[in-house]
């Protein structure tokens, strides 16, 4: 253990009410105490720490656990060690994948959608339609037209452009909202563990981002990498919870409408032409595309009000 680590351990020992502590892991920093495993987080950005403290306060509920900060002997939620702030959190280890825990995940998402709301940290407004148009034009200049992939890129462009326009339209009509749904940037299906028949959700320490984008990506990833059926169950639960209002539905759909898989496929084709190895294959592109189509269809059926329509894909 180097000097810095021993300084940290001694700060933890003297500031928190643990009788004995042992470091058991470095990344993430885990310590074993007589009161169970604890996670230590080191913050170099105090503004972010304060934001996270406030964020957790906002989310406190008896239905889920949030990785709140332990208070020190003097009642503070962090310890200052040099230029850093150190926080201590619970670290339950029983995994809680979405598959098999759809009800709990839906309840958690419902709660987060209601309570994890604030003004967005960064506001991005750019036209996806213009972006795909530019990408298409650029691709032409790279003379990738001889490739087999080009046929696919070209044949999809019209749908890609329509999808991009729909995404722009859905985002545009919902952009004048003061508060939006936020999730930590690294939110994933690994963000939750299980404890006393409920979920323990880790907000971690990354910055809050547009929750609709992150949630839509999480559902897509879950459907692609794991079981589509579990996403189906999750959506059913969300529907029963009345979790998704018109705005949420629009913004989640916008994320799936955005033809990012096509853009990545174009870049991948260009890079391949330049001899750079990429992992975006035709098959993968088609897989993502089809999955998005299915998600959009199911989501629209469940959540869009009668009369509202996002059109076919």
Partner 1 sequence: MEVHDLGPTVSNQINRILYQYDLYPHHFDDQGNLIKIETYSGTFALKRKALNDQQIRKLQTVYSLARQMTIDAVCPLSSKYGDLIIRTDELCYYLMPWFRETVDASDLLERYRHLFIKAGQLHRQTLEKETECMTLYQDMVRVINQRQMVWEQFLYQAEHHVYPSPFEQMVFKSAAIYLVNMQRARDFFSRDHDDEGKGKLMRRALCHGRLSPLHLLIQEERSALTNFENSEYGFFVVEIATLFEQSSVTLGTKKTDWKGFFRSYEAACPMSDEEHEFLLHFLLFPSAHAELLQRYMQTDQRSEQWFVSRWTKLCRVHQEMFTTIKLEIDEERKKKETIQAEVDKKMKNEDA
Question: What is the closest distance, in whole angstroms, from the C-beta atom of residue 204 to partner 1 in the complex?
Answer: 17
Kindly tell me which residue out of 22, 27, 62, 146 binds partner 1, with binding defined by CB under 8 A.
Answer: 62
- Euclidean distance between the first and the last CA atom of the chain, given in angstroms as a whole number: 57
Report if residue 70 touches partner 1, rule: CB under 8 A.
Answer: yes
9, exposed or middle or buried, with CB in 10 Å at 0-12, 13-18, 19+? middle
Of 41 and 292, CB closest to partner 1: 41
Report if residue 275 touches partner 1, rule: CB under 8 A.
Answer: no
3-state class (DSSP) for residue 163: helix
On whether the CB atoms of residues 269 and 150 are closer than 8 A, the answer is yes
Report if residue 94 touches partner 1, rule: CB under 8 A.
Answer: no
**Contacts with partner 1, 170-209, as mask; x by CB under 8 A:** -------------------------xxxx-----------
Kindly tell me which residue out of 68, 101, 237, 292 binds partner 1, with binding defined by CB under 8 A.
Answer: 68
State the Cα–Cα distance between residues 8 and 170, nearest whole angstrom: 48
Question: What is the closest distance, in whole angstroms, from the C-beta atom of residue 183 to partner 1 in the complex?
Answer: 21
Report if residue 60 touches partner 1, rule: CB under 8 A.
Answer: yes
Of 33 and 159, CB closest to partner 1: 33
Kindly tell me which residue out of 13, 23, 30, 35 binds partner 1, with binding defined by CB under 8 A.
Answer: 35
Segment interacting with partner 1, rule: CB under 8 A, options 71-79, 178-186, 233-241, 280-288: 71-79
Report if residue 82 touches partner 1, rule: CB under 8 A.
Answer: no
Question: What is the closest distance, in whole angstroms, from the C-beta atom of residue 104 to partner 1 in the complex?
Answer: 13
On whether the CB atoms of residues 105 and 218 are closer than 8 A, the answer is no
DSSP letter (8 states) at residue 116:
S
H/E element, 24: strand 21-25
Segment interacting with partner 1, rule: CB under 8 A, options 56-64, 154-162, 210-218, 222-230: 56-64
On whether the CB atoms of residues 44 and 83 are closer than 8 A, the answer is yes
Kindly tell me which residue out of 30, 71, 81, 224 binds partner 1, with binding defined by CB under 8 A.
Answer: 71
Q: Cis (ω within 30 of 0) for the bond into 210? A: no
Sheet (strand 36-43) strand order? 21-25, 29-33, 36-43, 84-90, 79-81
3-state class (DSSP) for residue 66: strand
Q: List CB contacts of 183: < 8 A, sequence separation 6 or more.
A: 112, 116, 208, 209, 210, 211, 214, 215
Closest listed residue to residue 261, CA positions, set 297, 289, 291: 289
Of 65 and 157, CB closest to partner 1: 65
Of 70 and 187, CB closest to partner 1: 70
Segment interacting with partner 1, rule: CB under 8 A, options 68-76, 93-101, 102-110, 153-161: 68-76
Kindly tell me which residue out of 11, 77, 139, 280 binds partner 1, with binding defined by CB under 8 A.
Answer: 77
The contact set with partner 1 (CB under 8 A) reads 35-36, 60, 62-63, 65, 68-71, 75, 77, 195-198
């Amino acid at each position: 253990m180097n000097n810095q680590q021993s300084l940290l351990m001694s700060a933890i020992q003297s500031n928190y009410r643990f009788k004995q502590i042992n470091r058991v892991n470095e990344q993430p920093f885990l310590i074993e105490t007589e009161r169970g495993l604890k996670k230590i987080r080191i913050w170099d950005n105090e503004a972010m720490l304060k934001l996270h403290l406030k964020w957790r306060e906002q989310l406190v509920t008896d239905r889920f656990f949030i990785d709140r900060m332990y208070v020190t002997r003097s009642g503070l939620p962090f310890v200052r060690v040099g230029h850093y702030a150190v926080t201590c959190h619970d670290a339950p280890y029983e995994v809680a994948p979405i598959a098999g825990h759809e009800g709990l995940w839906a309840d958690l998402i419902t709660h987060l959608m209601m309570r994890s709301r604030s003004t967005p940290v960064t506001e991005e407004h750019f036209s996806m339609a213009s972006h795909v148009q530019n990408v298409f034009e650029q691709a032409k200049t790279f003379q990738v037209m001889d490739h087999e992939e080009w046929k696919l890129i070209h044949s999809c462009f019209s749908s890609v452009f329509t999808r991009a326009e729909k995404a722009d339209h859905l985002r545009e009509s919902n952009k004048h909202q003061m508060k939006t749904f936020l999730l930590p940037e690294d939110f994933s299906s690994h963000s939750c563990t299980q404890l006393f028949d409920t979920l323990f959700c880790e907000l971690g320490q990354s910055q809050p981002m547009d929750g609709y984008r992150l949630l839509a990506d999480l559902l897509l990833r879950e459907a692609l990498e794991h079981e589509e059926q579990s996403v189906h169950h999750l959506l059913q639960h969300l529907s029963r919870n009345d979790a998704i209002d018109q705005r949420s539905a629009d913004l989640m759909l916008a994320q799936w409408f955005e033809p990012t898989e096509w853009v990545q496929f174009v870049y991948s084709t260009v890079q391949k032409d330049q001899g750079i190895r990429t992992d975006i294959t035709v098959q993968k592109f088609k897989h993502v595309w089809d999955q998005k189509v299915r998600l959009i269809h199911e989501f629209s059926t469940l959540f869009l009000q009668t009369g509202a329509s996002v059109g076919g894909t």
